[in-house]
Amino acid sequence: MSIFTGAGLALITPMHEDGTINYDEMERIVNDQIEGGTDAIIVCGTTGESSTMTHEEHIETIRACVQMVKKRIPVIAGSGSNCTETAVYLSKEAEKAGADGLLVVSPYYNKATQNGLKKHFTEIAGSVDIPLLLYNIQGRTGVNIAPQTIADLVKEVDNIVGVKEASGDLSQVASIFSLTQGDIDVYSGNDDQIIPIVALGGKGVISVLSHVAPKETHDMVIKLLEGDVETAKDLQIKYIPLVHALFSEVNPIPVKAAMNMMGYQAGPLRMPLTEMEEEHKKLLRQEMIKVGIKCVD
């Protein structure tokens, strides 16, 4: 059974001005997202700035998110690392904290071989009893998880159930479905490719756009799955300019700026990320207003 179908939110980690985590505001965002139709929360991923968290913060943030969600929708915890031992540790702790599933990015910087990737993911999956999604994002990690590697892992490891595909390569996504005969849960990792990936057989998206348009991102997936292609297609096209603005600088710089514009206390970013440039911020505000998102700041 899939961990979720629809739009999963790649949750930001709101910060106080001193850089500590603002758990009160996180709960506000989580509740608003669930009310808005979001189908799952992905905590401590790239958008959540997990790479700048201590292990203690990482685990506490997962635990806090699980408590906030209260089983209303699934919580998927980012638990990847370029050190297999660390990823195993974080994965075990995420399971103890009550996460419903894991999102495990391919090892970055090390640039493991495909054989090394298989051993890495197999060891992590074998350390827990909850389902695991691979996270393929070569642009950040320097290595692509090949379609055959993904297919082998899904076939050979019971609790590796799918992949967040952010390669941007739709031919690769098609190959994944072909090699697995469709027996895999694929989620788009790019908000501008929701429709093509779901049309190929995907279960949905792990989304940044959902922060500012939760209902619309959910509807984009569900309408297509229900056969309402026109509505789904129109939503994808309508939100493309906003998606581009949300990625005009490296994620999560723009989405934190957008949340602050909407009146949330998303707060600052942790170094080495810096605040959004004014030119890009102006464009982002314009695109938000065009689709009817109210900016209070």
Pairing label, strands 101-105, 204-207: unpaired
Packing angle between helix 229-246 and helix 214-225, nearest 10 degrees?
140
The β-bridge partners of 42 are: 10, 76
The encoded tokens of residue 266 equal 């998303």
The encoded tokens of residue 295 equal 């900016």
Decide if 135 is catalytic: yes
Q: Which of 164, 223, 256, 281 is catalytic?
A: 164
The encoded tokens of residue 210 equal 């959902």
Strand, coil or helix: what is 2? coil
Rounded to 10 degrees, the C-alpha dihedral 172/177/180/181 comes to -150
Maximum alpha-carbon separation in the chain: 50
- Nearest partner of 211 among 293, 282, 267, judged by Cα: 293
Q: Which of 135, 187, 239, 264 is catalytic?
A: 135
Instruction: Count CB neighbours of 51 within 10 A.
Output: 18
Give, in degrees to the nearest 5, the angle at Cα 267 between 296 and 281.
55
Would you list the DSSP string of 169-187?
-HHHHHHHHHHHTT-SEEE
Q: How far apart, in whole angstroms, are the C-alpha atoms of residue 102 and residue 95?
A: 8
The DSSP element (H or E) to which 289 belongs, if any, is helix 278-290
Q: How far apart, in whole angstroms, are the C-alpha atoms of residue 255 and residue 246?
A: 6
Decide if 215 is catalytic: no
Which positions are annotated as active-site residues? Answer: 135, 164
